[in-house]
Structure 1
Amino acid sequence: MRVEEIYLLTQSVQREREARLQAEKKLSQKIDELSQTKEQFRLLNDSLTQQIAEKVQELRRSDQEHRQLIESVHDIIYKVSPIDGTFTYVSPVVERTLGYMEEELLGKPYNYLVIPDYRGMLHDFYMSMLRDKVDNTYQEFPVLCKDGSQCWIGQTVRLVTNEDGKWELVAVARNITDQKEIEKALVSAQIRLTTVISSSVSAVMIEDENHAIVLINRMFCDLFGLNELDFQQDVPICSIPFRLVAHLFEEPEKERKRVNDLLQNRRVVLGEEVCMADGRQFERDFIPVFRDDQYMGHLWRYTDVTEKYLAREQLRKSEEKYRGIMNNMELGLLEVDNNQTIVRAYERFCQMLGYTSDELIGQNAAELLLTPAAREVVARQQVIRKQGLATSYEIPLRHKNGQTLWVLISGSPIMDEHGTIIGSIGIHYNLTERKQLEIEVAQAHKLAEESRQAEKQFLANMSHEIRTPLNAIIGMTHLLYDTRPSQEQLEYLDIIRSSADFLHSLISDLLDMAKIEAGRVEVHREPFDLAGLLRSLQKIFQMRLQKRPVVMDVMLDARISGKYIGDELMLNQILLNLLGNAEKFTEEGSIVLTARVRKKEATRTWIEFQVSDTGIGIPSDKVERVFQKFRQISPQGHKHKGTGLGLAITKELVELQEGKISVRSEEGEGSVFTFSLPYELVMTEENTPEEILANETTGKVENMTILVAEDNLMNQRYVSGLLKKWGVTFTIANDGQQAVDICRKQKFDLILMDIQMPVLTGYEATIAIRSIDNLNQQTAIVALTASAMLDQKEMAIKVGMDGFLSKPFPPDKLLTVLKQYATEEQAQVVGHVASGVVTHPLDYDRLSELYGDDTDYAASMFETFLETVLTEFDAFDILIQQQRWDDVRQLAHKLKPTLGMVGLSDLEAMMIQLEEMMQAEPDANTVRHLWHTFRYDLMSRQPLLQTQWQNYLIRK
């Protein structure tokens, strides 16, 4: 038990003792008063009786004098006939006392007014009085008043003889109801006090001023092994406890002297500890009793606190034990109150921060030890602790020398005995070394990540830069074959082509892996002909293997038919990699591509693909490494070389589509690669984008009102041209802030939002529109961006955008977006929207002359044009606007050959015309008109360029 609890218990006991003493004091006073009153009453009754007897004799001589005497007395005087027991005389006072008139009682039995329960007792009493000729008696009993109330009567009865010598009862009765009530209260108080003391869990003994025992309870006897018969309250025995129990104390003589001192000094002593010979521990209270400064006696109170003492000792030892453990564990403890004032600082904590305990106690922990930022953290933790919860957190502390220490704090609230939180205790563990190590590790990780990113970026940039001249080498090699080279030159060309093809494959793999790791590869799910794709791959590899003893076959599940929604290009690349590997390492036998329905779900169908071959196989100890980057698992000295990235790329592409890939192989027995991908079956036949353009069927969106937030002039005009053709009403915003301002004034059906814009970016503008009360707070917002990074798409959705459209986008993609957000009234079918979009097809004859069957080279040239060259045309806008004609001529001369390389022969002619116009001083309006026409046609045919590039990739 804690000191505070002991103190509160002591106070409670003191108050209990004081209450008992006060009650005893009152009881003693009342008893004395009652005794005095009874004695006075008895003397008065005797005196009155004597006087009445004398007066009766005198009244025989003078009735007038007799009546005057009777009426002068306040008590009731009456006579009762001993013959029939009836009232023969009642004094007039009876009316004031009981409410009856004299004539109402005369002739009535003497017990007429007595409560029925007392009548028998009273009758017996008077009969014995008459029988024994008792001269004078006193009796108390209750009677009924005329109004029905009850009062107590105390009466003195004398047996006298009348003039005729006959016996007669004369009584003097007084109303003693008040005295009875006081007596009843005193008895009740005495009973309660005696009961409390007797039932007390403490041993209590009360002695008077002469050391005679007044009261002793059962617990006292039990505690000291005494018999209650040893104590006679009416026999004063000095120092009874020590006469009988002195041997029970650990030091009898010392205790005897102490008891004598207490009796002599007569001062209150509470909670004094006393050790007993048998090992028990008592607490003793000595309370002297005074009344009006007169010593009346004293009270002894003993309480067995052995268990509490042992628990306290155990707690003390436990605290010492755990304090030692804490110190050895280098845990610093600190106690604070609810205001963060330090109440107690343990030794280890002081050592940790370089302070002494005296320097810390009384100080505000937050102000002394915490930085402003750390104070906010602790304040939040304090809120949690006030709810009675423990917390754990890391925080920096200031050492006395100014250095910073990082500590892990486990804090818990401290509660008093009533459950009220009065502060908290924190266990501090020094994390400084670990924190420093974390910082160093974080810095190292950051440097490593920066290095990795730089490496990836460098790899992507270099791969791209190498591919551009490599494409030229491959193209020129093909052209040299047409110049009728000699046999020696043909050998040289074969070596150049072989080396260039190998180098091109290496660079393509590196670029693909760099794109995957940089997060620039996204799954594009669109309807495609799965069975047609597999048959196409079969024909390609049959052509490649036609001069080798290898059979290429496709096993297709009969349930696979129609179109499926998925990424056709990604599946094509996966199968090309796996079939290409099988082709490389299979000298004879077969290569089989199998596709079957693995399982069907609510909306998806899982297709399992398998590529098996009868090639050289993979050693068992290397099977687990086939999908690792830069790992070559072919036998030593094998003629086929590579980067070791093909299967790693394949695995990444499969997992990007939620699939898994595995391999089974035995060396010399061939290999089997298996993977499964989920696709959604198209229930109704839909037209492809090319068919949409050809058939000229689109959704009606002409009633829509659209805001286009785009800062690039060329992109503005491209989107504007399409929207004008489709009859869409639109407004252009040149930056993000302008878009926000326009949204406050006009309601739109859709907002097309470029990401990279001045003033406010597309993200910032979207946040403003979504957060600020305006007409378009709930309007759909679709992002326009040239980036295909997944993190940018995630950011777009996070800030409140509803969709994402990657630039450059073909007209049908934009139209699909518009139809998606069109209202029911706007979604009506018309047939004129897409007419005229493709005014000129590509020059396929020229493409055939340039590339022939070399689809790999063609795909590379188209990719370079779309990803690199196309953006260079944007420079014409500023040059023509500023009329820098010489720069226009140089740019036109530089870019015109690229147009012919991708089949845009008519646009190449327009670029030649533009170059020629710059020879003399050109007309600015004519130049602008030619440029606008060129730009519109170039943007219109961009979807065809994309499609042609994809076709080359499929046939590659």
Structure 2
Amino acid sequence: MGKDMKDFQFEFNLDEFNKLFPFYILIDKNFNIKRCGQSIFKIIPDLKEDSSFLDFFFIKRPHCEELNLINFLGLFTQLIVIESLQENPIMLRGQFQQYKDFFLFVGSPWFISMDDVTNRNLKLQDFAIHDPLIDLLHFLKAYEISNQDLKELILKINDQKKILIHDKLEIDKLSLVASANRNGVILTNLDGKLFWTNDAYLELTGYSRYDVIEKTVLELGVSQLTNKDDLSEVITSFRNVRTFDCEIYHKKKSGDCFWARMKGQPVLDSNNKFVQYFVIIEDITKERQVNNKLKESENMLASLIINLQSGILLEDENRKILLTNKQFCNMFSIKSEPEQMIGFDCSNSAKETKMMFKDSESFVNRIHEILENKEVVINEELALIDGRYFERHYIPIVIDGKYKGNLWSYDDITLKKNYNESLSYEKEKYRSIIENMNIGLIEVNNNDEILLANQRFSEMSGYPIDFLIGKKGSEVFLDNNAKKILKEKELKRRDGESDSYEIVVKNQKGEMKEWLVSSAPNYNLNGEIIGSIGLHFDITNFKKLESQREQLLKKLEKQNEQLHDYAHIVSHDLKSPLRSIHSLITFIKEDTEVVFNSKTLKYFNLIQEKTEKMDALIHGILTYSKIESTSIHKEEIDLMELINNILATIFIPPNIEIVFKNKLPVVFSDRFRTQQLFQNLISNAVNYNDKPRGIVVIDFQDYQNHYVFSIKDNGVGIENENKEKLFQMFQSFDSNDISSGIGLSIVRRIIENANEKVWFESEKSIGSVFYFTMQK
């Protein structure tokens, strides 16, 4: 039944559920009561929702010393008896079932008499219709009345026996009354030995009177299957002269057994002295079977309630609706509510709904065929004209060999069917991709045996796929060193870890290859690791290229060092003659013995300006080359102190004013690069200022993770066509003779190497603002 029922799910609203289980209790994992059946509140008035379950109840059976989540889950497969903690306690008998993130108790009160029901202010409508308790209590009441009459009769006979000892006539009267009882009746003496029995007991057990006289009930009824606890209850009650009522597995003379309810009553004389035992033995085998089936039905219903997602229709033997749900109504476009459908005759409903299905006549005929055969139908697919697909299930309900109705279940499998078709297409597509991709793929089990390999792996290894299947990859491809690496990786995969690693393998030709392996554990549907899947890349050529690249980088690094040294040597050699030329021109101009005309002096001035510009250019190139070659050393830098030092070293005309709008912060940066950054931007602002009163404003904005610095001037500004070229090497857009065109290139290189940003705003003849960021 397990496989059949997994596909069925029930769904009830609170009113429907309360009708079925008026004494249910829903608790969460913290043992707080979230909902209760309406009848629970009648028997426990103080109970409130969100109260602790443990404040109102304790689990009486099975005995539980301390209730926690772990031992609580172990109760789900057992019959549970819970008892309230109120002054007048009440017991409920039932079972627990997990429902989503909650625990559901479904049961019924355990009353021993109709008086208990009345005293609790309960009425017949407070119980579920299927609850047999009321009928059993009525039966028990009638049974008690009958037993009381028998007891009074026995006492009366015993009183008469005192007057007429061994009066045969009175014994015959007692025997006549007991003989009329449908159940087995026995009388025992003080030693527990049977001295009289009725015919019903002999018929029930198969014994003769000769077999039972002077024998104890234990000698006659105990078998290996008899529960020792039940047996102990009988013995203890007998020894302590008290009544008992228990159920035991009673043996017959043939060796077969039956379930018996034994009710024992001590018989006392007028002096309250125990003189004999009166025991009634009832065959309750069928009752036990009914209770077991009832329990199975309750379990089934609880499971369906929890998992219900299908359209459900429950019919009786006359095809009258006993139960349906909202999902069923929605699936068949029924506008009525499920409660309104109860009692509806479904005999002709198939004819009304057949037009929903592609093969309408077959739909009707198949229903008649299923009802006639009364056999279980599972996963029967139905196609609807609107493009949907239903899956139908049918279960006949048979109780005690009699047909009592049937359960129909419908699932909308449109998405699943479309998904399966799409999945089949995707599987075929990816199978083709795997077979043809340029990545070697294999699947191995936990013993490293190859279960699957694609064509690319076969080509990489040199072995055909048929040869690889079943082989251990470590034995085919790996040497001892590589096997150690693979063993370590296997341990990680069995712990559920994925990994990538490089390994040296030997192909079928004996060539040593380097593979990059990306491996991950492979799981089954139960989440158990059953092996691993590995992707293999042949990186042999890449490794060779990488080795060549490293050698080339070392060679280039050495050449760069040589070029750097060469640049310093050349710059020194170039600067020396430039300085000499500049000094000689100065000496010649200052020589008072020689008088030059204005044209010659102009040429001398031009030579001096060009040598100064060339010196600045060489200095700029050296600075630019040192940006990346100089190692970075970060430290705390007081920007106010740094910029004041810069201002002291560069020439600032008298008409230019340097303004600090705010006190600059202390930053953590490389001193050389920071100095070059501010020096070039400030120099640029000073050199390109054509105003009679020039102003250079230095400011910053403080953000959470960085600063934004700005250097603003009121100089010549930048024309739009030159803005994109501004940071390029040797770009100068002014007639300034001392500009090298490298300063802003140095600024950009420093900013980009530090992963910062630099930008500017400028307007011709108005001025410019340069911004840059610096992380804190």
- Higher Cα Rg: structure 1 or 2? 1
Q: TM-score, normalised by structure 1?
A: 0.36
Greater per-residue strand proportion = 2
Q: TM-score, normalised by structure 2?
A: 0.43
Greater per-residue helix proportion = 1
